[in-house]
Amino acid sequence: MAGEEEGAGEKTEAPTPRRLEKAREEGQVAVSREVAGAAGMLGALVGLALLLPFAASQLVRSALVLLEQPAQLAAVPLPAAVWRTLHWGGLCVLAVVALPMLLGPAATLLQTRGMISANLIAPKASRLSLPGGIKRLVSAANLVEFVKNVTKLAALCGVAALILGGLAWQLVPAAAWPTGRLLAALWRDSLLLLGSLAAAFAAIAVLDLLWVRHDHLRKLRMSRQDIREELKQTEGDPEVRARLKRIRAERSRSRMMAAVPKAEVVVTNPAHYAVALAYERGSTGAPKVVAKGVDHMAARIRAIAEKHGIPVVANPPLARALYTVELDREIPPEHYEAVAQIIAYVWRLSGRATGAPDAAR
């Protein structure tokens, strides 16, 4: 017993849905910063590959107009060529910056399922404590983050070294290439390098997301005692629920026993089963099961029936079959004939008019 009580305090159980929801309300969710960084890098790559070339070409054209017609700059305050140059220059910046600024936060919101919590950014006095700050700096979490960052940097440097090493053979012949061909090759190789780095970053982000979710669930683990306390809060004390269940069962038995004196007949096994049937002559329905029981409960039903003069008829197969019918439900059609014969027999013994129940004919 002592070992069980000691083990009940160890946090070895997976968090319950209520615990996860409560942590979410407090702003504790699994969020990987690497996923947001990878999404931002992917946005920058898309901007460089798809949007920047067109915007840069338009910027160069506008700049060439200004360089070819410098005398016109003094003729008007701000010629249209200047506006176009500023316009395309701004689009060049947006091509590289806009998508990362959108995709990074979007990746974070996707991980939190749209949750924005002020608990994490709210000022706390504990964060101003010098010992607390030192403790956070040398914590295991920061050590894990340091190892992750070093590993990420080594992986990205390794990918860059492989790509650049594969492109090194082009350096010697590229010196004799025309300027246009050289610039196109440099642009293509730059995109290859950035694409490879983005793919490596995405792989790192997936691994980091898996680790963050695992660590989040580990921190929210519960002990068996925690789970019992949660059950008490959500569903009530188990002892109280068991007591209420016993009270409901006792009331159900009391109502059932009160219905036995109003029954038409009690069909028995004869020792183990007892089923009380009620039926009103002229009723359009079939006889109903108003009480049933086995062993001790069957003996009580027989005793009450004998006390109130209710006929008790032994029919083991029928008694076992009727015991499966729920209380206050009509008997199934396959038992109509057998029950009708028993009720007709009871009526003949009591001196009432002979004949089977109408609904069972």
- What are 131-160's pLDDT values in tens digits? 655 665 656 777 777 888 888 888 888 888
The rounded distance, in Å, linking the Cα atoms of 311 and 350 is 9
Q: What is the pTM of this model?
A: 0.49
pLDDT of residue 361: 44
Give the residue, 249 or 337, on which the prediction is more confident.
337
The Cβ-side half-sphere exposure at 320, using a 13 Å CA radius, reads 5
Q: How far is CA 303 from CA 28, 157, 276, in A?
A: 64, 90, 12
Structure tokens at 102: 């959108």
What is the tens place of the pLDDT at every residue in 201-218?
888 888 888 888 888 888
pLDDT of residue 46: 77
Burial-class residue 173 by CB neighbours within 10 Å (0-12, 13-18, 19+).
exposed
Q: So where are the chain's domains?
A: 257-360
pLDDT of residue 196: 84
148 phi and psi angles, rounded to 5 deg: -60, -45
Q: How confident is the prediction for the chain on average, in pLDDT?
A: 76
Sheet holding 265-268, edge to edge: 312-314, 265-268, 273-278, 288-294, 329-330
Structure tokens at 243: 């007591």
Q: Which of 28-32, 78-82, 118-122, 272-276 is predicted least confidently?
A: 118-122
User: Read out DSSP for 90-129?
Assistant: HHHHHHHHHHHHHHHHHHHHHHTTT---STTTS--GGGG-
The CATH architecture assigned to 257-360 reads 3-Layer(aba) Sandwich (3.40)
pLDDT of residue 156: 81
The Cβ-side half-sphere exposure at 180, using a 13 Å CA radius, reads 0
What is the tens place of the pLDDT at every residue in 236-278?
666 767 777 788 888 888 888 888 888 889 999 877 899 999 8
Mean pLDDT of 154-181: 70
Whether the predicted pLDDT of 110 surpasses 80: yes
The rounded distance, in Å, linking the Cα atoms of 208 and 32 is 6
